[in-house]
Amino acid sequence: MAYEESIRSITLTSDNTLAVRTGVSNAPGSPVDNAGNQYRFVTVKGEHLAGRADADDPVIGVLQNKPQVPNEAATVAIRGVSKVRVAGAIAAGAGVNSGADGRGVSGTAGSSRGIALTSATEADELISVLLTL
């Protein structure tokens, strides 16, 4: 089970790649996946502006909340142990990088954005990652 610990965060403004209307779980009209972009890697897209990171973007942290519309506050974990939504299987101890949609992918430990503390066997699972940004 994924956990978080000793998180240090900053608050930036969300752009249109981070903001996703998720609604209330199981409420009429709510999308099936209410995760939005929470627990995905983010990057700086402009002055005080955070957006979802792609594979080659410089990662600044992991989104902790779920902005519903652009220009809402985006809380970004920059240190500590954060949950990260993954794109596929990752073993504990592996390096974790940002994939094309901000989800965590297995990477080289020396150039990674974090180290997996828990494992995942399939896409969209949450794992605990020690951030090494």
Which domains, from first to last, does the chain contain?
5-131 (2.40.300.10)
Question: How do the residues of the chain divide into helix, strand and coil, expressed in percent and rounded to 5?
Answer: 0, 40, 55
Mean pLDDT, all residues of the chain: 90
CB 36, CB 22: distance < 8 Å: yes
The whole-number average pLDDT for the span 14-28 is 79
DSSP conformational letter for 59: -
Q: Give the end-to-end CA distance of the chain in Å, rounded to a whole number.
A: 23
* pLDDT tens digits, one per residue of 68-116: 899 999 999 999 999 999 999 999 999 999 998 999 999 876 678 999 9
Please tell me the predicted confidence (pLDDT) of residue 107.
Answer: 84
Question: Cα–Cα distance between 70 and 46 in angstroms, integer?
Answer: 13
Question: Cα–Cα distance between 88 and 106 in angstroms, integer?
Answer: 8
Instruction: Give the number of other CB atoms < 10 A from CB of residue 48.
Output: 10
Please tell me the predicted confidence (pLDDT) of residue 56.
Answer: 86
pLDDT at 17 over 60: yes
How sure is the predictor about 49, in pLDDT bands with cuts at 50, 70 and 90?
very high
The pTM assigned to this predicted structure is 0.90
